[in-house]
Structure 1
Amino acid sequence: MDQQREAIGAFWGWWDGIRAKLAAAIDAGAVDPFIESLSTQVHAISSRLSWELGAGREARYQLCVTAEGDAEGRIITERWLAAAPDSDDAWEYVAARQPHETPDLLVSIGDVELDLAEFYFAAYIDEPCEVIDLCVFHPVFAEVEADGDQRAMATFLYLEQLLGEDGVARWLGFVDIYTEPFADEAIDGQGLREVVKALQARASGEHWITLRGDVDGQPGELEANVAIKRIDHLLLDTRIELSIMLEDDIEGMPPAEEAEALRAIEAEVLGAAGEHVVLLARETHGGQRILHLHAAADGPALAAIDAVVEAHDDRAIGVDTEYDPTWEQLAAWREEIRAAREAPG
């Protein structure tokens, strides 16, 4: 982490010395002398990253450093952006590919050319998870190699042009690629943008779903926020498990008064850590309540949580941490919950 921060600092120090020259070179159509050094500086931060120069939305030019859809790499680009200088008339900075106002018309896959206007989608909204599951069809897919990689590359290239790199991560769930037309009502790229816009307008980022079952022969319960998006909390890379032993339980579950006390401790934790922590789930079984939180490893949340735990020295409370930059645990629960909702009965 420290080495990465040093590389980010070195990048911006180097950039300060060349950004005016690079802008002038773009004006003159003579960027080639800068390409190798820019690649070297970006790859010194991480080999996961790539860079692009383009027209800015507010400045004349835009520097994009992208992780190419890599989840852990996207955290690095966010740290890179957090250290960036303010935008000015010449330059603005983004940590992911932005939507194209007018997507490209043609994309080549090997010897095959795809007309992007011929992409069609069937969109199914998962309201609790606040994502859109997609079926994707293009008539040329039948001519593309059957391994599917090239089809997927073309599909996500177009989706990133429509929604932006972060928009794809934020709003899309399952993406299934078809080589034959599907029977469901199809929409084009602009139609997909409208579906996403409508979902965005009503999304809250908070929808709690409860799963109940048996754990080692006793009742168990999981409450998870299936609508929260990792892309909105990129720097919260560490999972914190706060295990609170119940002082009173019925078959491992808290009665009403104990449940109220647990909620009070939860409120204290969230109040103390504030915006530096998010609560993903509550897990209750076997005489304990486990709060699953995420925070930045180098942020103030862990110290704030430890202070709350120390203030409750009359209770048995454990704190465990694990580096989980892609929120794997929540992703697994989300899939479990989605499967349970779709199961018959």
Structure 2
Amino acid sequence: MGLFSRRTSSESDPHADAGPGDSGTGGPAPTPVGAFWDWWTEEGRHLDPSQAGPAHAALDGLLAAIDPDLTWHLGPGRTAQHRLTVSAGGLADARPAAERWVRAAPPADATWEYAPAVEADPAAFEAVLEVDGAVVDLARVVLAVETDLEALRVHVGVHHPAFAELPERVHGPLTFMVLDWALGEDDVARWVGRVEPLVDAPSPARTVADLHAAVAVCAEERDTDVWSALSGQTAEGRPVFALARTGLRWVDAPTLDVHHALVATFDPDERGMPSPEVLGRLQALDDSLTATIEPRGLVVATVTTDGTRTLHVYTDGEDQNAADAITRWATTHGLEGTREPDPGWTRVRRLLG
């Protein structure tokens, strides 16, 4: 268990005096991720994790250049002596940057390993914290745990006796810290649904082990390749039919951060739905798009209503070739399309759960 550091002023940026495009070599400036790993290879890897110093300030500045919401943490590794963790702090908008950072990392060695998200830390529940003047013995944390297998989510309430004396403003942050220590940052995003700090102890009171068991049940049920059929109505009462990869989460593919909505039109029946013949053509269109974009992107859902079929696709915002391939495909098949950043897949969350 440890605390994260965040850049607090521009004075900690080691490149503050460099002009635009100035890499110091006469060539093009490296990307922020490249600049970080260049510095790390030459200097950063020699820092002392137990002692703050100029290298820590350099870490602040270099990571802020990648994304200002990234935080970092130095701790013991699983297979190496030390681990450098760079975290988005639960923010979907920053998680792609952390993933791109770790994908560019050098191979782990005996001294250093790297992680793009906070990992579970069972030892944290043996610690005693001082929070806003109150003593918080984490061994006294208890949970309410409710499993929703249909949504593949676990709803969690977190209680600590100290909540009764702590101000409400710290209940939420402490609750999410507990969940990160229990499951790890990515599994919180992957599995946890509703979250509630509980001033009163739940009955029955559950443990972190119970939370792990509930998550394991959801994981056993999940298949990211299975498409689920969903139905509903528009506000006007017209039928809506959707197909979605309900087992898939944005955190399973964190660099696929751009949403494409491609709209095909067809001659509908009286309900606004396709005839069997038209449905066959639409299914062929779905298959064609999947063959064109995967595995560089993902088709995650289709929605059919009122003479339109919308195909929802995600690609990597730094992969211009994938975006171009979708544009060419849409033009070839006569589809209209929109594109916008959406790291947390908010445009399809109602479909995926």
Indicate yes or no: 2:214 matched with 1:195. Answer: yes
Q: Distance in 2 between matches of 1:41 and 1:305?
A: 33
| Alignment match, 1:11 | 36
The one-letter code matched in structure 1 to 2:131 is I
Q: Tell me whether 1:235 sits opposite 2:233 in the alignment.
A: no
What SS is found at the alignment partner of 1:65?
strand
| 1:1-80 correspondence runs (5 A) | 6-22=31-47, 25-26=48-49, 30-80=51-101
Conserved 8 A contact 1:239-1:294: yes
Mapped to 2, the partners of 1:174 and 1:214 lie a distance apart of 26
Cα RMSD after superposing both structures: 2.4
Question: CA, structure 1 residues 5+78, in 2 after alignment: closer, same or farther (shift >3 Å)?
Answer: farther
Q: CA deviation at 1:259?
A: 1.0
Query: Percent identity at matched positions?
Result: 28
* 1:31 positional shift: 4.8
Segment drifting more, 232-241 vs 188-197: 188-197
**Stretches of 4+ aligned residues off by more than 6 angstroms:** none
Structure 2 unaligned segments of length 5 or more: list them. Answer: 1-20, 22-28
Give 2:39's aligned amino acid: W
CA contact (8 A) 1:59 1:90 kept: yes
Compute the displacement of 1:311 (Å): 4.5
Q: Give the counterpart of 2:314 among 294, 297, 303.
A: 294
The whole-number CA distance in structure 2 between the counterparts of 1:47 and 1:189 is 32
Equivalent residue, structure 1, for 2:191:
171
TM superposition score normalised by structure 2: 0.84
Are the equivalent residues in 2 in contact too, given 1:128–1:227 (CA < 8 A)? no
Partners of 2:54 and 2:308 lie apart in 1 by 62
Q: Structure 1 residue 263: deviation in Å? A: 0.7
Match of 1:87 among 102, 108, 130: 108
How many correspondences in the alignment? Answer: 324
Structure 1 unaligned segments of length 5 or more: list them: 336-345
What TM-score do the two structures reach when normalised by structure 1? 0.86
1:272 partner amino acid: T
Q: 1:106 aligns with which of 123, 128, 141?
A: 128
1:342 matched residue in structure 2: none
For 2:41 and 2:162, the matched residues in 1 are separated by: 46
Instruction: Provide the C-alpha distance between the structure 2 equivalents of 1:202 and 1:218, rounded to a whole number of angstroms.
Output: 32
Alignment of 1:242-257 (within 5 A): 242-247=262-267, 249-257=269-277
Give the aligned partner of residue 320 of structure 1: 338
What is the deviation of 1:223?
3.6
- Are positions 1:208 and 2:228 aligned together? yes
SS of the equivalent of 1:128 reads: coil
Matched, 1:115 2:137: yes
User: Which of 170, 174, 179 in structure 2 is aligned with 1:159?
Assistant: 179
DSSP-derived class of the 1:329 partner: helix
What do the CA deviations read for 1:88-110 (whole angstroms, capped 9, x no partner)?
11111111111114224222221
Structure having the higher helix fraction is 1
